[in-house]
Structure 1
Amino acid sequence: MTKTIGILLFDGVEELDAVGPWEVLAAWCAFWPDDGWRVTTFTVDGGPVTAAKGLPMVPHHGAADVGAMEIVLHPGGQGTRPLLKDPDHLDRVRAWAAAAEITTSVCTGSLVYAAAGLLAGRPATTHWGSLDTLAELDPTIEVRPDDRYVDDGDVITSAGVSAGIDMALALVARLATPERSAEVRRYIQYDPAPPH
């Protein structure tokens, strides 16, 4: 049975926060379907959104019809700021996390998780410019300023923007194999120094 990775989109989402992991995960799912995963995008109401730098984005689903998600990915961006104070959104995030095997974030998506209480007593990271905010939202969080991503079992957070690519490759390694992650990295020709 195919398992689902859902990437949330919302107004003000940082483009690469969503599209970087999408590229990694979609390449994996497209070229190695026998691994048993698919990736999709969704918004709360199923409608299109405008990303932080003006890119229009159209989701595959709304939250009501996306179905079961074994992995949920919450990107960051300026659009997270109002979400931190939106009780309905925080309730949705808690529900998605409770139903998922792994809850992941990129950049300031981790601020939303902190506001929802999902990072209490856990190690986590976020964009360098929001590390203090992460600590203020929940002083019990062990903030990791130097980590590209932090895998704490059922919750994985990553640092800003391009760090989501590293996190997604690590997710492929965890869900499949390190060798598969290396194959995906080679396909997308992602060659940072040092490499993932």
Structure 2
Amino acid sequence: MKKVLLLLANGFEAVEASVFTDVIGWNRLEGDGTTDLVTVGLRNKIKCTWNFTVIPELKVSDVNIDEFDALAIPGGFEEAGFYKDAYSEDFLDLIREFDKSGKIIASICVGALPIGKSGILAGRNATTYKLNGIRQKQLSEFGAKVIPDKPIVLDKNIITSYNPATAFDVAFKLLELLTSKENCSNVKHLMGF
């Protein structure tokens, strides 16, 4: 069983998290049955950008990365406190451990910024929210080679994307990397894509 750890910061965008739960869940029940997903955060309750509350299954301090094959990070809003959790050392250390082990890290929109802040994107291709250029500039300041007009960037084990509209595509790319192109195509078809 391939396990995905869904890393949630306070202020995350629910739609960006839900694509991972849905695609991985659809695969578990209707695809090849080889994936599972576990939610994790720094708090007992996490409030998303629009006040939806989630109770994560694990706290970051309880994660054994040897039990997981991939890390998924949805973006969020600064106004909802996203960066307070996303830039915490516990959050960044977990990202570093996944990269050190060569495991897949998939992010959507500004979920790339904590990856950048962790230091692992230095000299690597990536992207993040592109509408006003501010977030892409921040990612560049973390040392990433920002590819501004490509919706999804894959550099070795790291997937980044430039807005919420890319969410399903990122989740499907993660599924493809965990299983196979054929299985991913089947799950997409079953989901109506």
Give the TM-score of the pair, scaled to structure 1.
Answer: 0.83
The alignment status of 1:53 with 2:21, answered yes or no, reads: no
- After TM superposition, the structure 1 stretch with the greater mean CA deviation from structure 2, 75-84 or 112-121, is 75-84
The match for 2:180 is 177
The match for 1:114 is 116
Partner SS, residue 156 of structure 1: strand
The alignment status of 1:39 with 2:42, answered yes or no, reads: no
Query: Contact 2:129–2:136 (CA<8 Å) still a contact in 1?
Result: no
The match for 1:97 is 99
Partner SS, residue 62 of structure 2: coil
Partner SS, residue 61 of structure 2: coil
Separation in structure 2 between the aligned mates of residue 89 and residue 109 of structure 1, nearest angstrom:
12
Query: Contact 1:76–1:108 (CA<8 Å) still a contact in 2?
Result: yes
Q: Superposition pairs for residues 93-172 of structure 1, below 5 Å?
A: 93-99=95-101, 101-129=103-131, 131-139=133-141, 140-172=143-175
RMSD after superposition? 2.2
Do the aligned partners of residues 172 and 17 (structure 1) sit closer, same or farther apart at CA in structure 2, a change above 3 Å counting? same
Deviation string 1:37-73 (CA, Å, 9 cap, x unpaired) is: 211211124x121100111112222223343221001
The match for 1:65 is 62
The match for 1:21 is 20
Identity %: 25
Do the aligned partners of residues 32 and 188 (structure 1) sit closer, same or farther apart at CA in structure 2, a change above 3 Å counting? closer
Q: What displacement does 1:166 show?
A: 0.2
Q: What displacement does 1:23 show?
A: 1.0
Aligned residues: 187
Separation in structure 2 between the aligned mates of residue 188 and residue 21 of structure 1, nearest angstrom:
13
Partner SS, residue 23 of structure 1: helix
Please, which runs of 5 or more residues in structure 1 have no aligned partner?
Answer: 191-196
Separation in structure 1 between the aligned mates of residue 117 and residue 131 of structure 2, nearest angstrom:
17
Task: Looking at secondary structure, tell me which structure has more helix per residue.
Answer: 2
Do the aligned partners of residues 21 and 70 (structure 1) sit closer, same or farther apart at CA in structure 2, a change above 3 Å counting? same
Give the TM-score of the pair, scaled to structure 2.
Answer: 0.85
Please, which runs of 5 or more residues in structure 2 have no aligned partner?
Answer: none
- After TM superposition, the structure 1 stretch with the greater mean CA deviation from structure 2, 139-148 or 54-63, is 139-148
2:149 aligned partner, one-letter code: D
Query: Contact 1:114–1:134 (CA<8 Å) still a contact in 2?
Result: no
1:105 aligned partner, one-letter code: S
